[in-house]
């Protein structure tokens, strides 16, 4: 069985170049590949097209790449927690494609499954429709959406083995499994890396065939995207 474990995070981002399209798993700050994002922020790589449900927060997650203006275009669903994102979007420094969340998930899944395009009713009659092809199905209008793929997909899992098999935990099982399929090269960070054969095959969410590199990442402080409290 092929051993896909890599030595360090620098090797994880090896081959990533300016102008590429990258996918980043996660939802809010849950299940994001913190180590890969941090390594990319320390590089000179720029003009990236990033596909992610959201753009992190100021000073963390993809917010690090935004601060250094390494991102040329964001393809996202929700961007409300990042002031720098808002500033760059309104000043037209950053190109933004906002997509309904379910459509974004399906576009990633379709790309990973080799489906070039599909029809969905979501977004019909709104700005999302734009000049996209439309068709009627059962009397209901649908718009054509294209599958998404990326040069690299960076995902985060709870446990993984050296063959690249992954298990996600809780909310981290969001965009990660979909994007893991859609990257030409998929890099997985895991909280715990075990030898091949130690994971229960019935519990695996992403089979190792979709993963080219895997690393046990350094653990960051657990961050809260938007903390709210109430007075006693």
Domains of the chain with bracketed CATH: 9-116+148-216 (3.40.1080.10)
The residue written with tokens 């390494």 in the block is 70
Res. 5: pLDDT tops 80: yes
pLDDT, one tens digit per residue, over 33-60 is 999 999 999 999 999 999 999 988 888 8
pTM of the model: 0.92
Determine what percent of the chain is predicted with pLDDT higher than 70: 97
Instruction: State the average pLDDT for the chain.
Output: 93
User: 13: burial class by Cβ within 10 Å (0-12, 13-18, 19+)?
Assistant: buried
Q: Could you tell me the pLDDT band of residue 221, with boundaries at 50, 70 and 90?
A: low
The SS3 assignment for 191 reads strand
The residue written with tokens 């576009």 in the block is 107
pLDDT, one tens digit per residue, over 132-188 is 999 999 999 999 999 999 999 999 999 999 999 999 999 889 999 999 999 999 999
Q: What is the C-alpha separation between 181 and 128, in angstroms, rounded? A: 25
Q: What is the C-alpha separation between 176 and 36, in angstroms, rounded? A: 14
Q: What is the C-alpha separation between 220 and 232, in angstroms, rounded? A: 30
Determine what percent of the chain is predicted with pLDDT higher than 90: 82
């Amino acid at each position: 069985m092929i051993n896909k474990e890599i030595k360090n995070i620098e090797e994880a981002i090896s081959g990533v170049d300016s102008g590429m399209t990258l996918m980043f798993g996660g939802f809010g700050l849950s299940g994001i590949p913190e180590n890969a994002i941090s390594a990319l922020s320390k590089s000179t790589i720029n003009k990236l097209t990033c596909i992610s449900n959201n753009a992190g927060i100021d000073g963390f997650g993809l917010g690090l790449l935004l601060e250094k203006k390494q991102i040329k275009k964001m393809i996202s669903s929700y961007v409300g927690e990042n002031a720098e994102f808002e500033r760059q979007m309104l000043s037209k420094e950053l190109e933004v494609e906002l997509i309904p969340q379910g459509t974004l998930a399906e576009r990633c899944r379709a790309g990973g499954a080799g489906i070039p395009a599909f029809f969905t009713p979501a977004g019909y009659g709104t700005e999302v429709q734009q000049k996209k092809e439309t068709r009627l199905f059962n009397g209901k209008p649908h718009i054509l959406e294209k599958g998404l793929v990326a040069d690299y997909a960076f995902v985060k899992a709870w446990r993984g083995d050296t063959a690249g098999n992954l298990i996600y935990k809780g909310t981290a099982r969001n965009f990660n499994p979909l994007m893991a399929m859609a990257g030409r090269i998929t890099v997985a960070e895991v909280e715990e890396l075990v030898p091949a054969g130690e994971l229960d095959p019935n519990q695996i969410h992403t089979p190792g065939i979709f993963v080219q590199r895997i690393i046990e990442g350094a653990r960051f402080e657990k961050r809260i995207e938007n903390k709210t409290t109430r007075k006693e």
